[in-house]
Amino acid sequence: MHGINEELEFRPVRVAVLTVSDTRTSANDTSGDILAQRIEAAGHQLAARDLVRDDIETIQNVVTRWIDDPEVDVIISTGGTGLTGRDVTVEAVRPLFEKEIEGFSVIFHQVSFQSVGLSTLQSRACGGVVRGKFIFCLPGSNGAVKDGWDKVISFQLDSRHKPCNLVELMPRLTEK
């Protein structure tokens, strides 16, 4: 079977959301709001939320703090994945990855292509694993956040998704 098996138990995860932007504030962080609302609507816990400027050290500090936090299972960022000189989320987060989830980028771009066509080329969305935590870096547009959550991440963070999901891997991420 492919999809959600309603007969299985749903296991919520704790998700931290990081918005990276030089122009947004907490008052107009629509992409962060969309993520937070969808995370909670799916039955997960919003474990933390922050908004920082496009600065490698600042981004790494927040992400590292959440990696160290036992109350955070997953980190999702929005913004800073583009091609401009100020887009540095990927440069900040990718060096932290112990393992990169190449398939996330591939699937995200397939989904994004359906929404924005070839403009998906301008995104460097990525995902990885660091010390037992999943990290996903999404573009900052509302559409990209909706596509990333609604069509990719939400299914992999649903413990009922079959034939497999990321939640069932969580206990094994740090095994040697």
Phi then psi dihedrals of residue 124, to 5 deg: -115, 40
Please state the domain extents for the chain: 12-71, 97-134+155-170
Instruction: Please give the biggest Cα pair distance in the chain.
Output: 48
The pLDDT tens digits of the residues spanning 34-88 come to 999 999 999 999 999 999 999 999 999 999 999 999 999 999 999 999 999 999 9
C-alpha distances in Å from residue 4, one per residue of 7, 22, 165? 9, 38, 10
Which of 170, 156, 70, 172 lies closest to 107 in space, CA to CA? 156
Which of 18, 37, 30 lies closest to 81 in space, CA to CA? 18
Helix %, strand %, coil % for the chain, to 5?
A: 45, 20, 35
